[in-house]
Amino acid sequence: MSYEVLARKYRPSSFEEVVGQEHVIQALANSILQDRIHQAFIFSGTRGVGKTTLGRILAKCLNCSSSEKPVAIPCNKCVNCDEIKLGRSLDFYEQDAASQRGIDAMKELLQTVPQSPANGRYKVYLLDEAHMLTTESFNALLKNLEEPPKHVVFILATTNPEKLPKTVQSRCLQLNLKTVGGTVLSNHLQKILESENINYDQESVDLISDAALGSVRDSLTLLDQAIAHGSGALKSSNVKELLGTIDNSFLVAMIKAIIDGDGIGAYEALSKIEELSPEYDVILKSLISILHKTSIEKVLNNSTDTDIKNLAANIDSEFCQLLYEIAVNSFSKFNAHPSPKEALEVCILRMLAFNPIHKLDSKTSVNEKEKKNLKNHKKIEPINTVDNSELKKTALNDKNGKPSLNNNTDWIGLFDLLSLSAFARNYFGNLSFLSFEDSLLTLVGTDEKSIPENVFKEFQSVLNEYFSSNIEIEIKLGNNNDSPLSHKKKVESERQSQAEKDVLSDPSIQKFLDKYDGNIKDGSIKPVN
């Protein structure tokens, strides 16, 4: 006897065996039990989720001879159930609308509609890929959909319901089938493997489930291939080779290097990935998936993956979104690039180029020019928008020539002198000074949100360079009204008010406005830098 593929062998024969479509099953079962059977249905959904299977099961439920009425659970033993299963029932017409889509095929089908059922209660017409029918075929079908004989039920299965004419949709009850994935599909595959007495590991099942992209039929087809590839067993290494997937640990290492601004580390991880000979678009897809999971973890904190948790702890939310956008944008243009490898490399280069976080190793944490400036902070000009004349007087060096840090004014002055990334400046610029004793800097903030580890290390590294010693940092909850950034806003606001006051009180300007009956546009006055 020839081998029967898993997709056919384990095709559901009743509603109870259908996977992941409980909402559709409940609607169909209730309509049968309440004797409220609709005259026409549209089953829509992606490939391999059970549209045709549900149509056949519904036909068996309506014509099962184990009861005097339609049943929600067909017996699968009577003549009618067997004939529908084998595809030779005179009361069940299954037509491929993709190959028989013309008006002649539709006329031939509709000629049988007035005839009474041969053995069952209903004549069921299942049109698979119904969106492929021609306009003439749809027009010929309309009257029968709207007013069919009482013994007729139409089922239109389609992957593109939006291509069905509105006149057809309005005459049918549309049931949308969901994609099936996650633990639901993994559990289904495990049951089949156990029924087939196949040895497997959980990672292999999860890989196949993810690769199926929500299609039960695709997952069973991949399962068949994986079993053959693994000589009757499932091993994650064989499944990865079959699917062209890669070890996430390499991708995680690459993303971690990108976060740290380590270009050499990122390309070393990429070279290890290339040794596995995966497709470059698969690498980019996996990269997007990991960044997506990391983004979700940043918000929900519900991941069970240690690698994802570590990435989320080390990356700023905004930078994570930026990396995701760069990856998705690169993928959208992937097919247009003449070299897939170059497309992926340029994507990584973009991620590194737009990373404002300083590298923390000795080679790149602070360049030579910055080291020179930090050792002699008097040579560094503060940010132009803040008046630091008073700060310069108070931020004095101690007896060893090191800058002192005794109060919040000193802290504001020091902060303006430090060369920090935008992320570090945003996080630590909202903190106020509490104390600085025994190389321990204590800052105060009102936000309980933790600072990403790499941002924290960057700030600590810059402080270590500045003080030429190891500085510990502690952050406590409290009032941070006089933080560097709030001080900057306050000074800018005062300068803006003074500029407006000076302009409006200038006699020559007032004389000019009076002469020409003019006025000054709000927001047009800017202080001189």
The rounded distance, in Å, linking the Cα atoms of 209 and 224 is 13
- 126 and 221, same domain (yes or no): no
The CATH number of residue 215's host domain is: 1.10.8.60
Contacts of 63 (CB under 8 A, 6+ apart): 70, 80, 81, 84, 89, 91, 92, 117, 119, 120, 121, 122, 124
Q: Of the residues 144, 176, 208, which one is the last residue of a structural domain?
A: 176
The residue with greater pLDDT, 89 or 359, is 89
DSSP letter assigned to residue 404: P
pLDDT digits (tens, 9 = 90+) for 402-438: 557 888 888 988 898 888 888 888 889 889 999 998 8
- 122 and 172, same domain (yes or no): yes
Q: Of the residues 176, 200, 220, which one is the last residue of a structural domain?
A: 176
Nearest to 484 by CA among 428, 419, 403, 422: 428
- 415 and 380, same domain (yes or no): yes
- 236 and 267, same domain (yes or no): no
Q: For residue 141, is it within any domain?
A: yes
- 54 and 147, same domain (yes or no): yes
> Considering Cα of 484, then 488, then 490, then 491, what sign does the dihedral take?
positive
Q: For residue 498, is it within any domain?
A: no
- 128 and 277, same domain (yes or no): no
Angle between helices 280-300 and 306-314 (to 10 degrees): 70
- 402 and 266, same domain (yes or no): no
| pLDDT score of 528 | 67
Q: For residue 280, is it within any domain?
A: yes
- 199 and 280, same domain (yes or no): no
Q: For residue 304, is it within any domain?
A: yes
Q: For residue 508, is it within any domain?
A: no
- 142 and 290, same domain (yes or no): no
Mean pLDDT along residues 387-397: 42
Q: For residue 512, is it within any domain?
A: no
- 165 and 66, same domain (yes or no): yes
| pLDDT score of 389 | 41
Q: For residue 528, is it within any domain?
A: no
- 138 and 34, same domain (yes or no): yes
Provide the percentage of residues in the chain whose pLDDT is more than 90: 51
Q: Of the residues 141, 160, 176, which one is the last residue of a structural domain?
A: 176
Structural domain of 273: 248-353
pLDDT digits (tens, 9 = 90+) for 185-229: 999 999 999 999 999 999 899 989 988 989 999 999 999 999 998
- Per-residue pLDDT band for 368 (boundaries 50, 70, 90) equals very low
- 199 and 215, same domain (yes or no): yes
| pLDDT score of 142 | 94
Q: For residue 492, is it within any domain?
A: no
| pLDDT score of 400 | 52
